[in-house]
Amino acid sequence: VEYQYGISTQRNIHNLSTKQASILFLEHNKVITIGTRGGKEDILFSDKEIKKRGFQVIKSDRGGQVTIHNKGQLVCYLIFPIKKFNLKPVDLVRKIENLIINFLKKYNISATKIKNKTGVWVIEKNTEKKIAAIGVRISNGISMHGFALNINNNLRDFDLIIPCGLEGSIVTSMSNELSISLNKDDAKQTMIKEIENIFDCEVINE
């Protein structure tokens, strides 16, 4: 879906989520989003070139800096009343990191978190490769946004930006690490099980 459609849907759910948590799984069309700590200086090409390559540039109210969404990513928006889960904002981010790390273990991908670098990383021969970006916002005690996990997406698109403001940062995907194409629907079901484990909840498909 278009990024703005996803955000609009998320906000509508957010307004109703004082008690019940909700999760959205999405795949966005090409878009570069700039978080609250980011700026256009992290976009490496002109507006004309960005548009030529099929991307929009949108300012987002999520945390973090600049990232890319494209086909083949699994984007997960977590709309949680965080007090109900006994979480502070930083706790939510740490749980998301652990969620993704545990999920990747199911695919025999060894991933980790890195101090002072939000997200999830694969380290190979001292090279840090980002496989998932995380950006959240808390409004009225309810979380918005979440994470984007690279599954089968085109990694060359990330050449357009400085991912998350980390110059020289390398981006990877599950299919890149495993050298095979993956089924996103199967990945979603595996992710749901890990969400239930990490957040001690039951996920009901609607």
Write out the catalytic residue numbers. 164
Cα–Cα dist 73/188, whole Å: 11
Of 203, 195, 190, nearest in space to 104 by CA: 190
C-alpha distances in Å from residue 16, one per residue of 19, 81, 145, 146: 8, 10, 15, 18
- CB neighbours of residue 30 within 10 Å: 18
Q: Extract the tokens encoding 26.
A: 């999405």
